[in-house]
Amino acid sequence: MSSLSSARLRRSIALHLFLTPLALIWLFPLWMMVVFSTMPDNGIFSPGIELLPHGNFLDNFNNLQRDTNFVGAIGISVSVAVTYTFLSVMLTSMAGWALARYQFFGKGVVVGIIFGTITLPYAVVLIPQFIMVARDFQLANTWVALIVPPLFNSLGVLFMRQSFSMMPDDLFDAARVEGVKEWRIFLFVALPLARPMLAALAIILFLASWNNYLWPLLINSQPGSMTAPVALGTLIGLTKVSWGGIMAGAVMLTVPMLIVFVLLQRHFIAGIAAGAVK
């Protein structure tokens, strides 16, 4: 037993010695982003290498807020990302449940079309989508235009379809024998079992909405209703670039993503552990 424990300890030490430099390499650009956010514009491109934060973060943030109303833009991004994540998770879950648990005519064709949409570059559908939303539906500069068009996520549908397909049929059949309605089976039996998959999907969808730049830039031209990435992009001008403000805004955009991941990671790991025990 002691030799086995000693071997595990050696493997653990070797693994940490291998992964620690890789982690530091991955974290170094993030750390430099924090350092640059605390430096004035003329100090960011100084010949020397600065590895420690300075004291100009508040000045950079004040300039950012003055030029873009960044706090308001963050509020819009949070509202859009949370609403989009909730609606898209429910929509993709219902679609995945239908494709995994029901038999209907043309099911194979529908699955094939969904697979096919994954291969399409976003640029292919961007212009037709913009024309339909802005010209035909007259929804430009609205929250509906920001949230609704990207709601159907093909990858999320296939992800949830696979998750529901791996669940035992006997569990749902027993619920049907007891007279439980289909929508209650979906809400109170299937979704709780899919909690780790839902957490992973929510993380992916939230980050996709939070980092989305091109679609909000096209569909929303009003300065007072820009999302945070679009507002941050306005600091890049033809003759002047506010690098300090950009770095300060990038730090503020990164923190919510880390918070969302840390909060949902606990549920993600707990769900996987519970599934492994079962």
Domain ranges of the chain: 68-233
Higher pLDDT, 124 or 49: 124
Q: What is the pLDDT of residue 92?
A: 93
Using the CB atoms, write b or e for 55-68: b if 16+ within 10 Å: ebbeebbebbbeeb
The H-assigned helical ranges of 102-194 are 107-119, 122-130, 143-147, 154-165, 169-177, 182-185, 191-193
In tens, the pLDDT along 254-278 reads 887 777 777 767 765 654 454 444 4
Rounded to whole angstroms, the Cα distance separating 195 from 210 reads: 22
Report pTM. 0.84
- Token representation of residue 12: 């653990």
**Whole-number Å distance between alpha carbons of 142 and 140:** 6
> Looking at residue 153, what is its pLDDT?
87
Q: 177-186 contacts: CB < 8 A, separation 24 or more?
A: 186/94, 186/97
In this predicted structure, what is the pLDDT of residue 270?
55
Strands (E) located in the chain: none
Say which residue, 5 or 131, is predicted with more confidence.
131
Structure tokens at 77: 């991004």
CATH architecture of 68-233: Orthogonal Bundle (1.10)
pLDDT digits (tens, 9 = 90+) for 3-60: 667 778 888 888 888 889 998 898 898 888 889 889 887 777 777 778 888 888 899 8
pLDDT tens column, 159-211: 889 888 888 888 888 888 888 888 888 998 899 888 888 888 888 898 889 98
Residue 196 near residue 275 (C-beta atoms within 8 A) = yes
The C-alpha atoms of residue 232 and residue 163 are separated, in whole angstroms, by 37
**CB-count burial class (<10 Å; 0-12, 13-18, 19+) for 101:** middle
pLDDT digits (tens, 9 = 90+) for 205-255: 988 899 899 999 999 878 778 899 999 888 887 667 888 889 999 999 888
Closest Cα to residue 96, out of 18, 186, 14?
186
